[in-house]
Chains A and B, each alone.
Chain A
Amino acid sequence: MSAQRPLAAVALALALGVTLASEAQKEPAIAGIWQPDASRSQRFPAQTSYTDEGRRIVAEWRASHDPIEDDPGKFCQAPGMPSLALGGADYPVEIVVTERQVTILMELHQQIRRVFMNQEHPARPFPQRNGHSVGRWEGDTLVVDTVGIKALTFGSVPHSDRVHVVERIRAVDGGAALLNEVTITDPVMYSGSVSVQQYYRAAPADTRMLEYECTEGMWEDHEAARAARKAGTEKP
């Protein structure tokens, strides 16, 4: 009888250990690769209520840029946040969750967002296209707060550097989908907050993210121009 006690203790310890290990390995439901689901998502409203200043900025951009020749996409310009949070084109997004940081890898333009967990924004964040993001968990929902976004007039959301984005990201439909409720506030550009729901589908298990090199064509153009210059100036 006394010999059974140590055995029982070992069995209990093993069971506990297995349980703890399995809890430690359990990933948050938002982790993984997701495919934007345009069929369920809302678009940023085309008829947004601009402020007078916002209307002026957008009108000035449109008046000074030819929609074909001056298309930023032609120059591999990534619009950054808040456009990034709106899914956009049909490229997957991978979310990697650690205790200190949630990393959002967007295949389109190889953009990376880093969400620093349980931290405050710096007093004066240096403006960047994707801004400065901090996050916290509210149950299974990741709440991301982003400021310090560089002002940009092109993209689906023309914005000033005072734009503020709050995202509430959680898995829905038993993990088959992801919902990002995005609220955008920009006192310079818009007269009120704009909220948009963006859905994603869980990508098939064999999905692999690809690289997205965008500038090969531009370099080829440069090389052709260089070769033409050389042909025109060098004597044979």
Chain B
Amino acid sequence: MRYTLAIGILATALLAMAPVGSAHHSPVAFNTQVTDFELKGVIETVEMRNPHSVMKLRVAEQDGSTKLWDIEFSSVNLLLRRGWDFDRIKVGDRVTCVGNPSATGKTEMYMWSLVLADGTEFAR
């Protein structure tokens, strides 16, 4: 019982520390015909990296539950050149992500535009 509880706590801790992990989906993974798919939520993890940056976004469902979405976006190199201010994109921030939805119905999207709570937009 004691072991089970300890393992449970450890598993929960690991889950809480869940890494953003690798991400690079082919464009066919997303419905590129739809460019205005929008998600509002709270950032749980975010990593600016190559080949694609990744974010986990906690999104509230209509029934009161929440779902964790995988947000994939451009490489850190291109974001830097496009003027994204990484100091302003932090865990706990409430943001709006706009882009392409999953082509296969998964809770993931490719983000082309990020809007912060104060209306600041970082695009492409």
Interface residues in chain A, defined as those with a beta carbon under 8 Å from any beta carbon in chain B: 67-68, 71, 73-74, 76, 90-91, 107, 210, 212-214, 216-218, 220-221, 223-224, 227-228, 231, 235-236
Contact = CB atoms under 8 A, between A and B. Distances in A.
A236 B14 contact: no
Given A73-B26, A90-B78, A212-B77, A217 B10 contact: no
B29 interface: yes
B6 A236 contact: yes
B46 interface: no
Interface residues of B, number: 27
Nearest to A74: B24
A71 B25 contact: yes
Interface string B1-40: 0010011001100100011111111101100000000000
A204 to B, nearest CB: 10
A220 B51 contact: no
A68 B25 contact: yes
Contact of B50 (A67, A212, A227): A212
Given A224-B18, A224-B21, A210 B77 contact: yes
B7 to A, nearest CB: 7
B80 interface: yes
Interface of B: 3, 6-7, 10-11, 14, 18-26, 28-29, 47, 49-51, 54, 75, 77-78, 80, 104
A67 B14 CA distance: 31
Contacts of A90: 78
Contacts of B75: 212
B22 A218 contact: yes
Given A67-B28, A71-B24, A227-B14, A217 B49 contact: yes
B22 A74 contact: yes
Contacts of A227: 14
Given A210-B77, A212-B50, A223 B19 contact: yes
